[in-house]
């Protein structure tokens, strides 16, 4: 029996799987499972030919039946041993393919999770920035209202004209904010495209940015 070859094959397959840098990468190294299956098939053909030759030689002997019975028993035992080796190799091969498939799914899921986490961080930063801007604007409006309430005289056209630069600056800030939003959307689109090209499946669309 050559069970030691099966155990050696299992060890080599395990080491190769652990050293594999990425499930998407392929190498030119021969498949150890296929090499072992080819060896078993070659051995089977050799043994079949050998026992056929021995059976033919039995007819040249006096005790033909005893000779044939002995040859056929040894042939059956040899073929059963080769079959056990073949089944063991196929079993290990199936298990390795299952492990590789799990690794591919985990890598794909990890990449998607990283993309989603990055989008959540970006959305949280943008929301925090907008919240600060709203709080600052509310503070300015409150101060202006308090100043108007304490003012002893009505505001003149000249006083009102002093608000125009503030309104203009607000318009400029709004334009700058819209431009940043557009750039962020383009950046997300580029990342989504890169992710689709790499994993073959578009990530979940992010939630719309709150106003």
pLDDT higher than 80, residue 35: yes
What pLDDT score does 54 carry?
A: 93
For the chain, count helices (H), then strands (E): 5, 0
Residue 65 maps to a domain: yes
CA–CA–CA angle 172, 176, 177 (5° rounding): 115
Residue 92 maps to a domain: yes
pLDDT higher than 60, residue 61: yes
Residue 166 maps to a domain: no
What pLDDT score does 210 carry?
A: 55
Residue 154 maps to a domain: no
8 A C-beta contact, residue 47 and residue 79:
yes
Portion of the chain with pLDDT greater than 90, in percent: 26
pLDDT higher than 60, residue 15: no
**Residue span of the structural domain in which 85 resides:** 3-17+29-106
Residue 191 maps to a domain: no
- Read off the pLDDT of residues 16-33 as tens digits, 9 standing for 90 and up: 545 454 444 445 678 888
Residue 170 maps to a domain: no
Structural domains of the chain, count: 1
pTM flag (> 0.75): no
Residue 148 maps to a domain: no
8 A C-beta contact, residue 92 and residue 12:
no
Residue 7: Cβ-neighbour burial (10 angstroms; 0-12, 13-18, 19+): exposed
pLDDT higher than 60, residue 163: no
pLDDT higher than 80, residue 74: yes
Q: What is the CB neighbour count within 10 angstroms for residue 85? A: 22
Pick left, alpha or beta for residue 200 (phi over 0 → left; psi -120 to 50 → alpha; otherwise beta). left
Residue 113 maps to a domain: no
- For 60, which DSSP code? T
User: Which residue is associated with the tokens 């033919």?
Assistant: 56
């Amino acid at each position: 029996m050559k069970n030691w070859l099966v155990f050696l094959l299992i060890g080599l397959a395990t080491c190769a799987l652990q050293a594999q840098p990425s499930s998407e990468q392929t190498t030119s190294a021969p498949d150890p499972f296929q090499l072992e299956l080819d060896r078993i098939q070659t051995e089977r053909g050799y043994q079949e030919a050998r026992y056929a030759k021995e059976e033919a030689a039995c007819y040249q002997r006096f005790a033909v039946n005893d000779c044939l019975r002995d040859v056929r028993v040894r042939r059956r035992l040899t073929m059963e041993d080769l079959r056990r080796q073949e089944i063991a190799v196929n079993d290990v091969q199936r298990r390795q393919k299952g492990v590789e498939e799990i690794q591919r799914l985990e890598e794909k899921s990890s990449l998607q999770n990283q993309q989603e986490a990055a989008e959540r961080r970006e959305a949280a930063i943008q929301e925090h920035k907008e919240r600060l801007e709203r709080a600052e604007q509310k503070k300015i409006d409150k101060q202006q209202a308090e100043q108007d309430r304490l003012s002893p005289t009505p505001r003149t056209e000249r006083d009102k004209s002093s608000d125009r630069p503030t309104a203009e600056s607000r318009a400029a800030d709004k334009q700058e904010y819209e431009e940043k939003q557009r750039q962020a959307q383009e950046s997300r689109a580029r990342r989504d495209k890169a992710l689709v090209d790499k994993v073959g499946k578009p990530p979940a669309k992010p939630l719309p940015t709150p106003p």
